[in-house]
Structure 1
């Protein structure tokens, strides 16, 4: 099922024009890190190179996907640098350098990392996490530092009025939740749904999208709904209570890898075997589903917009072969990735290159205008039917996705539930 959901609150505005006006106004007000106007170079860029910053979890519970956020973008630009660099719209060819710092998924550390990087990098990109990216969003706006193509589904980052220097990359949480609800609504059978969600904007967004899609569906009933904290070390109590609900569908909006594995294992211990709906960032076959024993369940569903290297269907795919070779040589990532974030950050590199190619001035303002003008870009590794579009108000760079079902090794795209 290929799905393209738009925010119900999206404004019908001319995004690029509005952004240009906003950025021009910001430039006149003289933000802390925006660089001079009139084409004078912003921090982090010279005639020969541009430096990008990343703050992301490289240790702790989310280190697996966090490490991938750096590996993919380093691999992409490492390969480009080896070929001589990236050609910019101003006629200069520049190498692209990546400076990445570990925030351990801690908002306070993420803000400290941003403060350390902001005067030396041209833009911040690729970092994982809603609370960690939110921690320095206001500072990035005040400093006029791009915080773009970041890995959070928080819709705030794709609102050009509220966040003029930001842009998310992955589909917003509401998009994913709504996709699951739309799929479930295709079923002709009656279903009882149990919900467990992270007690923050991440979890709330998924649940909001899911509920909006099943509204009015007489065959679907939510029988129990609980939350957990991202800092929790166990959700056994929640799984035990939800198992007693008799639900045959489990909507688990969880972002923490160890907790997702433990949830899969605990439900089996309780002999509760519903069909699961899992977020894209915690649905890895190798890192999560196999250790969690997902094959015991009648169906595990997730969403994707990226080709999975571990899937036999893409084993010889030209994009995948090139990507895996670069990931090993330039991304310091020798094994096939267990998390999709490596593929996503590779796509981020390609999207950044598109924006660089449209820049006529070495400024952050001009970069934002160029980035916001990309339409229907089929980035390498994107699944058929998905594309990068950065000019849609209220939407991240990617808002198209496919609903998929776990087949024991990877995922197959599905059109209906069952």
Structure 2
């Protein structure tokens, strides 16, 4: 459940950001990206001046996905808030600029997301960090037509990392197929026989996870998929599907679900049914404190997910130097005083750090130059990454991060799972 305090905090953050961004947009220089000015230099694209750059975000700040959606704004706001307080980001053209954020709520509604993009596109330099596959897809073609970067967004849909299909786009998080495949391979390494039941969101999100999982277990004679059902992202209950799946006799439940309240109610409903399989959950709906604890996940023999970033809820996080800095920045610059329950706060903080790397390389204040440098980041270890993970934007067809590690819930947080336990 998203508390009233959290909702109010989200509204206050967005309101403040909107005021700052409107001021920045009012003094932004116009002109088409890459067109020469009278001096012979490339004319600045919308949303950038000699001393500021404005980024836009459309993401869910209300509704069922408001928790992770709020984090997509908070993390990047915290990162650039600290940079701005330190003077700003020094770009490759020698100018130092403050980075402003303008965020709008789409409530995980594709139509609202498209309307938000239309509202933002002429006043921001680039769109970034927003959560959701259907919501980001809703304005992808418009962004291509308008030549507006849709950079480092929070969706694992592989279409956003295909340069031919999406020349102005790049995803940040691993594609859904990578997550599903990693879990499939772990399960296939088991010496026991397993029956698997699958419930997936009936869209590219769910289909991507299932596709990856099936690839991971390909050729494994000890794995049998005994039942496979779907649900709609607009559904408020999946009790009927869970009842049917419980009758399958499956000992493993692959649940490719993106809606926080549905995951919690699914954990609770399966216990009511007396069905206690091992679970797999996507990285964006596997929060220990916000989902697993209220869902009673400790009742199951194992709950697995994948990760590439440190968890802010981990016991040692707040004691590390990077953890202390992150939590302090989040509180001071994003008005987010709590330890975040969702990984998206850390992810979007990393997005800010990655964009910082891109800005430092830009020699022209244009969207064209931004996209060129965006696709040149290699082996960058962003803050709070797990060992072995890094940002690499140079491979067509892959998002900025493509390395994942399977982890198992231990009642408080997650520990690495190198073999099926």
Query: What is the TM-score of this pair, normalised by structure 2?
Result: 0.91
In 2: Cα distance, 1:102 partner to 1:321 partner: 29
Q: Write out per-residue CA displacement over residues 96-143 of structure 1, whole angstroms, 9 at most, x where no aligned residue.
A: 000000001000110100000000000000000000000000000000
Asked whether 1:255 is paired with 2:258, we answer yes
**Runs of 4+ in structure 1 displaced over 6 angstroms?**
none
Query: 2:318 touches 2:327 (CA, 8 Å); kept in 1?
Result: no
Match of 1:64 among 62, 67, 71: 67
Q: Write out per-residue CA displacement over residues 363-418 of structure 1, whole angstroms, 9 at most, x where no aligned residue.
A: 00000001100000000010000000001111000001111000101000111011
Query: What does 1:133-212 align with in structure 2 at a 5 Å threshold?
Result: 133-212=136-215
Match of 2:378 among 368, 375, 396: 375
Correspondence for 2:418: 415
Query: 1:33 touches 1:144 (CA, 8 Å); kept in 2?
Result: no
1:314 is displaced (CA, Å) by 2.5
Correspondence for 2:47: 44
Correspondence for 1:13: none
Query: 1:34 touches 1:145 (CA, 8 Å); kept in 2?
Result: no
Asked whether 1:227 is paired with 2:226, we answer no
Correspondence for 2:24: none
Query: 2:148 touches 2:367 (CA, 8 Å); kept in 1?
Result: yes
In 1: Cα distance, 2:351 partner to 2:34 partner: 24
Correspondence for 1:9: none
Query: What does 1:307-346 align with in structure 2 at a 5 Å threshold?
Result: 307-346=310-349
Query: 1:198 touches 1:227 (CA, 8 Å); kept in 2?
Result: yes
1:36 is displaced (CA, Å) by 2.6
1:226 is displaced (CA, Å) by 0.2
In 1: Cα distance, 2:32 partner to 2:136 partner: 18
Correspondence for 1:99: 102
In 2: Cα distance, 1:232 partner to 1:33 partner: 43
In 2: Cα distance, 1:67 partner to 1:159 partner: 27
Q: Write out per-residue CA displacement over residues 61-115 of structure 1, whole angstroms, 9 at most, x where no aligned residue.
A: 1100000000000000001000000110000000000000000100011010000
Query: What does 1:118-137 align with in structure 2 at a 5 Å threshold?
Result: 118-137=121-140
In 1: Cα distance, 2:286 partner to 2:129 partner: 19
Query: 2:312 touches 2:341 (CA, 8 Å); kept in 1?
Result: no
In 2: Cα distance, 1:182 partner to 1:317 partner: 32
Q: Secondary structure at the match of 2:236?
A: coil
Query: 1:193 touches 1:222 (CA, 8 Å); kept in 2?
Result: yes
In 2: Cα distance, 1:310 partner to 1:342 partner: 11
In 2: Cα distance, 1:378 partner to 1:78 partner: 21
Q: Secondary structure at the match of 2:98?
A: strand
1:35 is displaced (CA, Å) by 5.7
1:317 is displaced (CA, Å) by 1.4
In 2: Cα distance, 1:383 partner to 1:54 partner: 26
Correspondence for 1:5: none
Query: 1:377 touches 1:389 (CA, 8 Å); kept in 2?
Result: yes
Correspondence for 1:20: none
Q: Secondary structure at the match of 2:35?
A: coil
In 1: Cα distance, 2:316 partner to 2:303 partner: 19
Q: Write out per-residue CA displacement over residues 188-217 of structure 1, whole angstroms, 9 at most, x where no aligned residue.
A: 000000000000000000000000111110
Query: 2:157 touches 2:204 (CA, 8 Å); kept in 1?
Result: yes
In 2: Cα distance, 1:34 partner to 1:166 partner: 16
Asked whether 1:109 is paired with 2:112, we answer yes
- Tell me: higher relative CO, structure 1 or 2? Use CA pairs within 8 A at least 6 residues apart: 1
Query: What is the TM-score of this pair, normalised by structure 1?
Result: 0.92
In 1: Cα distance, 2:100 partner to 2:316 partner: 33
Q: Secondary structure at the match of 1:396?
A: coil
Q: Write out per-residue CA displacement over residues 199-249 of structure 1, whole angstroms, 9 at most, x where no aligned residue.
A: 000000000000011111000000000000000000000111101101000
In 1: Cα distance, 2:248 partner to 2:335 partner: 46
In 1: Cα distance, 2:34 partner to 2:114 partner: 21
Correspondence for 1:53: 56
Aligned residues: 387
Query: 2:312 touches 2:343 (CA, 8 Å); kept in 1?
Result: no
Query: 1:35 touches 1:43 (CA, 8 Å); kept in 2?
Result: no
Correspondence for 1:24: none
Correspondence for 1:29: none
Query: 1:34 touches 1:143 (CA, 8 Å); kept in 2?
Result: no
In 1: Cα distance, 2:350 partner to 2:409 partner: 23
1:154 is displaced (CA, Å) by 0.3
In 1: Cα distance, 2:94 partner to 2:161 partner: 30
CA spacing shift, 1:337–1:274, aligned 2, 3 Å: same
